[in-house]
Amino acid sequence: MKWRLASRRKLLPGALLLAVISSSAARSNARDAQHAQLVWVGRSAALATSEGLDASNAYRSRVRFPSDPELTVRTRLPGGIGQAPASDEAGNLIIVHTEPRLSKLDAQGRTSWTERLPSEASAAPTLLADGSILIVTREAEALLFSRAGKRLQRSALPFSDPRRRTLAIATESGGALVVSGNELVELDSTGRNLRQARLRGNASALLESSAGSIVVSDAGDVERSHATGDFELVGSFGGNVSDGAALQAGKVLAIVDGHKWLALDLASGQVSTLAVDSASTLSGPAALFVEGGAALIADNGFISERDRAGVETLRIAIGAAGPSFDPVARGQRGARLIGDGSGAILAVQAGNDALLLAPDGSAVRFEGTSCLDPLRPTPTLHGVFFSCRSGQLFGISGRAR
């Protein structure tokens, strides 16, 4: 008997779907047609499922930052930190080390478990809908771990050159999408390969919308998947998109050629200009505000807040006055930021202390949190962690009353 499955977009986040797989479906994904399959579908309940925090690459936390924050955790992890950490719904950190290892830390930065990896991770940890952890390695392998650190699956990925840039996001179907260069693979919830596709160019952003999977190439092409798995060209930004892209309200938003903030409408393929700043170098990834607008990095040392029309409303230096304002020094120091639902922004930059910018424009700098190699800040239930490739880890939370 063949069951008709409901649209996954109508399911609640984290819903558990029980389905009987037909013989035709079994042939396509190598599952036993005689057994019912348990499949988790819907969005993950985790707070940071991938590099962009979620599959829209909005770099926006679902939990608001503390209004009266203080530095509560300061530690150094042995083995370094290879990629931006993920965080689950309880606020635990999932960290891949450069050693290579995989570890889970609690909200106080204490290690709950750690497991060896066969090779270094090539992308940030990806948390699937059921809470399992997907790790993609530089040897083109997909490793799936349980919440408790038990390895569930190890499979080879059909990438011709795994040294190319790799991106991964969780999908609402319970699995994941992984792209390396111009080669894309869809994995099911067990980490097995469902399908693969070749794209027009090397990917700089991997997104998922209700209309399908979206890939943006570093040359600015925007492709969308069909139900059959093939990708079609939706439109093009007509320039270089090296800092990724984000998805909001049916539009793909991207910084193009380092000076333009553009939006591509997925329904029409038309590109509109939100802002052009020929006097500054704009970079990302951008943190999107709930009501439209975004925070970008300007001249690799300033937060540039833009309203939904692209007009700059605020510009503030990440670092305090001093050597960090040297244009040459700023050009060598990468900056990363994330936002929250209130419009607050957290930013890190090499050589400068982390900065929290409140919606009213007031700023708090956390002394002693600077490092030479900061990664994307990671939200937790009651605060935020700043991490560095060197293994330094700092946590802020609300001040105790």
Q: What is the pLDDT of residue 137?
A: 96
In this structure, the answer to whether residues 186 and 282 fall within a common structural domain is yes
pLDDT (tens place) for every residue of the chain, 401 residues total:
222 233 333 333 444 443 333 333 333 333 444 444 455 555 678 999 999 999 999 999 999 999 899 999 999 999 999 999 999 999 999 999 999 999 999 988 999 999 999 999 999 999 999 999 999 999 999 999 999 999 999 999 999 988 889 999 999 889 999 999 999 999 999 999 998 999 999 999 999 987 789 999 999 999 999 766 689 999 999 999 999 999 999 999 999 999 999 999 999 999 999 999 999 999 989 999 998 999 999 998 999 999 999 999 999 999 876 544 455 444 455 799 999 999 999 999 999 999 999 999 999 999 999 999 999 999 999 999 999 999 999 999 987 64
Q: How far apart are CA 370 and CA 337, in angstroms?
A: 14
Instruction: Check: CB of residue 266 under 8 Å from CB of residue 211.
Output: yes
Phi/psi of residue 28, each to 5°?
Answer: -80, -25
Name 86's Cβ contacts closer than 8 Å, sequence gap at least 6: 46, 48, 49, 50, 93, 94, 124, 125, 126, 127, 133, 378
Interatomic CA distance for residues 11 and 84, integer angstroms: 29
177 and 156 share one domain: yes
30 and 50 share one domain: no
Residue 228 confidence (pLDDT): 66
Residue 22 has a pLDDT of 32
Clarify whether residues 164 and 27 are in a common domain.
no
Cα dihedral 41→45→51→52 (10° resolution): 90
Residues 65 and 1 in one domain: no
Length, in residues, of the chain: 401
- Do 28 and 70 lie in a common domain? no
Say if residue 78 is preceded by a cis peptide, omega within 30 of 0: no
The H or E element spanning position 331 is: helix 327-331
Does residue 164 share a domain with residue 91?
yes
CATH assignment of the domain containing 229: 2.130.10.10
Beta-sheet strand order (sheet of 166-170): 166-170, 176-180, 183-187, 193-198
Domain extent for 23: 1-42
Distance in Å from the first CA to the final CA of the chain: 60
136 forms bridges with which residues in the sheet? 142
Task: For residues 365 and 231, state if they share a domain.
Answer: yes
What's residue 15's pLDDT? Answer: 44
The two three-digit tokens of residue 145, written as one number? 């771990």
Per-residue pLDDT at 41: 54
* pLDDT in the model for residue 86: 98
The number of distinct structural domains making up the chain is 2
Looking at the fold, whether 33 and 60 belong to one and the same domain comes out as no
Residues 162 and 197 in one domain: yes
Q: Does one domain contain both 200 and 279?
A: yes
Angstrom CA distances, 259 to 80, 281, 398, stand at: 34, 6, 37
Burial 123-142 (b: 16+ CB within 10 A, else e): bbbbbbbbbbbbbbbbebbb
Residues 274 and 259 in one domain: yes
What confidence score (pLDDT) does residue 400 get?
Answer: 63
**What is the pTM (predicted TM-score) of this model?**
0.86
